[in-house]
Structure 1
Amino acid sequence: MNEYFCGWYFKCQSDSETLAVIAASHKSKIKRYCSLQVITDEASFIAKFPYKYIQHQKSNLHINISKNYLGENGMTFDTVSPDLEISGNIIFGDLTPIKYDIMGPFCYVPFMECRHSVVSMKHTVNGNIYLNGRRYDFINAKGYIEGDRGRSFPKEYAWTQCCFESGSLMLSVASIPLGNYEFTGIIAVIHLNGKEYRLATYLGAKASKIKNGEIIITQRNMTFSAKLLDKNSHPLSAPSCGLMNRTIHESASCRAYYYFQKNGHTLLNFETSKASFEYEYSI
């Protein structure tokens, strides 16, 4: 494939700080390179490297970009660049995978613009990172890992993720082109008190509302909603035709409201200041 990107998102969050790292490779017909992006509550930063500096394994999560390592067991950094100076070591506890591929049967559909994966819904994070002169400490903090690959991010989409005391959740809705057809694709997972709940297009989920930062999803006897209350967003580079030449905005940690109901029983109903949110719809 002449136009292709592959990226992995590692989020670390304590009671007071959030730090997420995106390791990615990108190539088009005319250019190839790899990158590290870091987003915090205060800002975002990026370092670019020659394509030959990245090594990763398809069989498991093991990524090397120059002197930086990111994988199932943790992360180690040693980079000095004009925008990003990062060093330190993070150790992950046992990962919490989902029951089966988040794409469901769509994982077998060829030529999709973007494919999503969820590596761990929640795990412990311990260690420290020095980022542009500031130290970030994580002691029994929470982590989350996901990935994307394909040609481009959807032209319109919303994504949110949040770890909470009794579990974690993620939700993504997007405009999905498939040949001459376009539809709203939905993937969502809620881990709550040891149980997994999933809402997805391939399971019959529908978006009853995507407007003003609010998403409401229904699927048979379940309703799941997420609402962005206060942005705290910073720019990130995102893929378009293989290259990271599109700018999106992510709030690594912001105020949001979540609600989940099944069979008429409310299972989640809370507001948090620890939500991660991207809302790239025009309405």
Structure 2
Amino acid sequence: MGNHFRGWYFKCQSPTQTLALIPAVHTCRGCQTSSIQVVTEKEHWNVPLSGKGCLVRWVRPQASLEENRFSPQGIDLHLHSDHCHVEGQLRFGPPTPLPHDIMGPFRFVPFLECRHRVFSMRHQVTGQLHINGTPYRFDHNLGYIEGDQGRSFPRRYLWTQCLFPDCSLMISAADIPLGPVSFPGVIAALSFSSKVIVLATYCGARIISVHNGKITVKQNNLLLAAELLSDQGRPLRAPQGGSMSQTIRENVSCHARYCLFQRGEILWAGESRQASFEYEYPS
């Protein structure tokens, strides 16, 4: 298969704590390795693991990396390195999937640099993890699961996700290379009031502007805007040519504002200090 990566992003959020766990497998020049990244509001750890016997599936968020297990039903961690020690168990409630694949018809396009999958827009999280002695407790709180696989993360992209009591949203915008050319692509989903709204390039959505941690997307009579209000990003390892050799900055819990307009009227708006935000567009 050549240089390749596959990983899942598990976000868990209580009213006072936010945590992201990223199990991944990566193959570069015929050598397979794996890793688990642990991201909190203040710290980040990348724990390299052996590729022997590791498993990360794509159809569903299932991973088995040494003594660590990830599944749609929960997570069991026994992760220990020189700098990071994580023990505990989390259990998930039923997922809230999107009505169709977020990639739309692009899921059939071969040789894409990166493919995206949203498994659950929101679900309940219950349990406890101890990270270097600090307890992360969740009692019927909120979770989100998505995944990526391919060769590399895009050179320029914006990604954000936020869980509100009444809404869950994600936005991903990037330069998409296709052979010798590239084009700006966007996928976004909002789940609120028992409805799901999807904005995507394959539905006619286009990026109106993206700069300085702000993005505006228009699709027919809908206008979606997101803005990063505080930047305290932590370094995060990301794939480049199959290996985890790229460094990006992620805000796993930051201050951001979102607004969805329909025909110029506010359909939904929210502001949170627990938003997740990655921004790799030059200013």
| CA–CA separation in structure 2 for the residues paired with 1:75 and 1:278 | 24
Q: How does 1:1-283 map to 2 (within 5 A)?
A: 1-283=1-283
Cα deviation for residue 28 of structure 1 reads 1.1
SS in 2 for 1:105: helix
SS in 1 for 2:202: helix
Assess if the C-alpha contact under 8 Å between 2:121 and 2:169 holds in 1: yes
| CA–CA separation in structure 2 for the residues paired with 1:57 and 1:22 | 13
What is the CA RMSD across the aligned residues, in angstroms? 1.0
1:111 maps to a residue whose letter is F
Q: Give the fraction of aligned pairs with identical amino acids, expressed as a percent.
A: 42
Deviations along 1:240-273, one digit per CA (max 9) or x if unpaired, are 0000000001001100010001234312122211
Which runs of at least 4 in structure 1 moved beyond 6 Å after TM superposition?
A: none
| CA–CA separation in structure 1 for the residues paired with 2:59 and 2:229 | 39
Q: Which runs of 5+ in 1 are unaligned?
A: none
SS in 2 for 1:16: coil
61-70 or 16-25: which moved more? 61-70
1:149 maps to a residue whose letter is Q
1:21 maps to a residue whose letter is L
- CA pair 203-98 structure 1, distance change in 2 beyond 3 A: same
| CA–CA separation in structure 1 for the residues paired with 2:196 and 2:67 | 37
| CA–CA separation in structure 2 for the residues paired with 1:35 and 1:83 | 14
| CA–CA separation in structure 2 for the residues paired with 1:61 and 1:228 | 28
SS in 2 for 1:52: coil
The size of the alignment, in residue pairs, is: 283
SS in 1 for 2:111: coil
| CA–CA separation in structure 2 for the residues paired with 1:94 and 1:190 | 18
| CA–CA separation in structure 2 for the residues paired with 1:24 and 1:61 | 11
- CA pair 279-7 structure 1, distance change in 2 beyond 3 A: same
Cα deviation for residue 53 of structure 1 reads 3.5
| CA–CA separation in structure 2 for the residues paired with 1:105 and 1:60 | 19
Q: Which runs of 5+ in 2 are unaligned?
A: none
- CA pair 58-269 structure 1, distance change in 2 beyond 3 A: closer
Assess if the C-alpha contact under 8 Å between 1:19 and 1:39 holds in 2: yes
Cα deviation for residue 236 of structure 1 reads 0.6
| CA–CA separation in structure 2 for the residues paired with 1:225 and 1:60 | 30
| CA–CA separation in structure 2 for the residues paired with 1:116 and 1:59 | 12
| CA–CA separation in structure 2 for the residues paired with 1:9 and 1:141 | 17
Cα deviation for residue 58 of structure 1 reads 4.5
| CA–CA separation in structure 2 for the residues paired with 1:33 and 1:121 | 29
Assess if the C-alpha contact under 8 Å between 1:34 and 1:53 holds in 2: no
